[in-house]
Amino acid sequence: MSDVRQVIGISGGKDSAALSIYLQENFPSLDLEMYCCDTGRELDETYELIEKLEAYLGKEVKRLKAIETDNMAKPNFENSEEISPFDYYLKDYGGFLPSSHARWCTKNLKLKPFEEYIGDDPTISYVAIRGDEHREAYVSTNENVQTIFPFKKNIWSFDVISLVLDHHNIGQFRDIYENKVKPDNLNRILEEVERPISVEHNLNRKTKTLIDLDVTAFNYAVFHFLKKTDYPLARLDDFPLLDKSHLMPDDQVIVRDQVFKMLERTVGVPEYYKKIEYEVDGQTGTYSRTRSGCFFCFYQQKIEWVWLYENNREKFDEAVKYEKEGFTWMENESLLELAKPERRDEIKRQHLKKKQNGSSKKSKTLLNNLLDDNEKGEYFDKEDEDYAGCTVCFI
């Protein structure tokens, strides 16, 4: 048995759940460990999804907590009915709520438990960035951790690509192609391997060209190159994700619509993703929660706070309890101010206007640009998909 651990973090969101299913169904030889970093303030649907995954996959999702609070006294401020890991750190930070400028929640409640969980063990971490996304994910800086992106055509992290295609390593990479991989179109591939990186032909373009010429050959060449490094993959004799040609072409790169279909046929889609109609000034729009994570996450759009108020009042009221003068979830507006009927209507108007004005704008994701409106399905929302947040929590 290999001493390399292979792990996948389950955020409670659609993509990480789908990735765990995808890997078990298509690469059953992987000895996967599943974990979730529990803040104690996740949406109820998050915990329900984790339980359904455990039942479907027949594997435990290890619950990681930054600190065990079960036997602790309640905090001495009136913010919650019970203490959770989030409450513990909130007290430690003097009631200073996390924000996009001070993400102490990510550092202490998500990253710290993960890094303590794996320790110094060589680890491959599978991350659910989809093939239709053009965004970065958290890649651990720990030397014992290597990140792989199974949903993408290019499964490798930027640090690996930069190393392999560095001009000092081109000779070694060429030798690997010639003597170990030996693809049918070797001469054309070697032309690209030896082509210098320039402003016109940058690293991304060079990588894409090599992958498009033969993605399986590229993966094997990278794998052989890493054998002489300290990356965790160097310890493995083989790696099943190098060759995805046994899958249907559409299953080699997974996009948003496939994620939802995967969940629909297995564990179900969390209710908070489903679009709910709202009405303002005689016009109808739709809203929903667009990501997993804590129910009071500061990355929520204001329309999502309105959704929470109108569809899960209990959680909204809990979020209100955390606010005090100078400490609010949103900049320059408290939840009590947002909850006023006239303010909620104003946010809905702004949301409708933004969606209408933005319908002609080009999206950041490939899928948005390829599909017609009638093809995007029940869960699709261009604005939601373009809205970036902390990928540690949401994928």
Query: What pLDDT does residue 372 have?
Result: 43
Query: What pLDDT does residue 134 have?
Result: 80
Gap between the Cα atoms of 90 and 83, Å rounded: 10
What are 236-253's pLDDT values in tens digits?
Answer: 999 999 999 988 887 889
Q: What are phi and psi of 284, to 5 degrees?
A: -115, 135
* Token pair belonging to 348: 């809905």
What's the rounded mean pLDDT across residues 335-360?
92
Query: What pLDDT does residue 319 have?
Result: 97
What are 126-148's pLDDT values in tens digits?
Answer: 999 999 998 766 677 789 999 99
Strand residues in 193-282 grouped as ranges (E): 276-280
Query: What pLDDT does residue 197 have?
Result: 95
Query: What pLDDT does residue 325 have?
Result: 84
Q: Give the single-character DSSP code of 251.
A: G
So where are the chain's domains?
5-156, 158-240, 272-394
Distances (CA, A) of 293 to 290, 368, 394: 10, 24, 6
Q: Are strands 276-280 and 5-9 parallel, antiparallel or unpaired?
A: unpaired
- Encoded amino acid at 70, one letter: D
Query: What pLDDT does residue 68 have?
Result: 81
User: What's CA 344's distance to the chain center, in Å?
Assistant: 29
What's the rounded mean pLDDT across residues 12-39?
96
- Encoded amino acid at 242, one letter: L
Return the number of other C-beta atoms located less than 10 Å from residue 143's C-beta.
11
What are 272-282's pLDDT values in tens digits?
Answer: 999 999 999 99
- Encoded amino acid at 379, one letter: Y
Q: How confident is the model at residue 108 (pLDDT cuts 50, 70, 90)?
A: very high
Gap between the Cα atoms of 360 and 269, Å rounded: 29
Query: What pLDDT does residue 389 have?
Result: 53
What's the rounded mean pLDDT across residues 327-337?
95
Query: What pLDDT does residue 361 have?
Result: 53
List residues bridging with 283 in a β-sheet: 280
What are 46-66's pLDDT values in tens digits?
Answer: 999 999 999 999 999 999 999
Gap between the Cα atoms of 167 and 194, Å rounded: 9
Q: Are 162 and 173 contacting, i.e. CB atoms less than 8 angstroms apart? A: no
Gap between the Cα atoms of 210 and 208, Å rounded: 6
Query: What pLDDT does residue 358 have?
Result: 73
Q: Which residue has the higher pLDDT, 2 or 309?
A: 309
Q: Give burial (CB, 10 Å; 0-12/13-18/19+) of 331.
A: exposed
Q: Are 147 and 273 contacting, i.e. CB atoms less than 8 angstroms apart? A: no
Query: What pLDDT does residue 71 have?
Result: 60
Angular region, 93: left φ>0, alpha ψ -120 to 50, beta rest: alpha
Is residue 70 over pLDDT 80? no
Percent of the chain with pLDDT over 70: 86
In this prediction the pTM is 0.87
Percent of the chain with pLDDT over 90: 77
Q: In this predicted structure, which of 56-65, 80-89, 194-203, 286-295 has the lowest mean pLDDT?
A: 80-89
Q: Are strands 283-287 and 276-280 parallel, antiparallel or unpaired?
A: antiparallel
Query: What pLDDT does residue 249 have?
Result: 81
What are 364-384's pLDDT values in tens digits?
Answer: 444 343 334 443 444 444 444
The length of the chain is 395
Q: Are 295 and 319 contacting, i.e. CB atoms less than 8 angstroms apart? A: yes
Gap between the Cα atoms of 49 and 186, Å rounded: 46
For domain 5-156, the CATH class is alpha beta
Distances (CA, A) of 113 to 7, 228, 232: 13, 30, 20
Q: Are 65 and 85 contacting, i.e. CB atoms less than 8 angstroms apart? A: yes
What's the rounded mean pLDDT across residues 61-84?
71
Q: How confident is the model at residue 333 (pLDDT cuts 50, 70, 90)?
A: very high
Distances (CA, A) of 166 to 59, 67, 159, 203, 339: 40, 42, 11, 9, 54
3-state secondary structure of 375: helix
Q: Are 325 and 96 contacting, i.e. CB atoms less than 8 angstroms apart? A: no
Q: How confident is the model at residue 393 (pLDDT cuts 50, 70, 90)?
A: low
What are 147-166's pLDDT values in tens digits?
Answer: 999 999 999 999 999 999 99
Is residue 74 over pLDDT 60? no
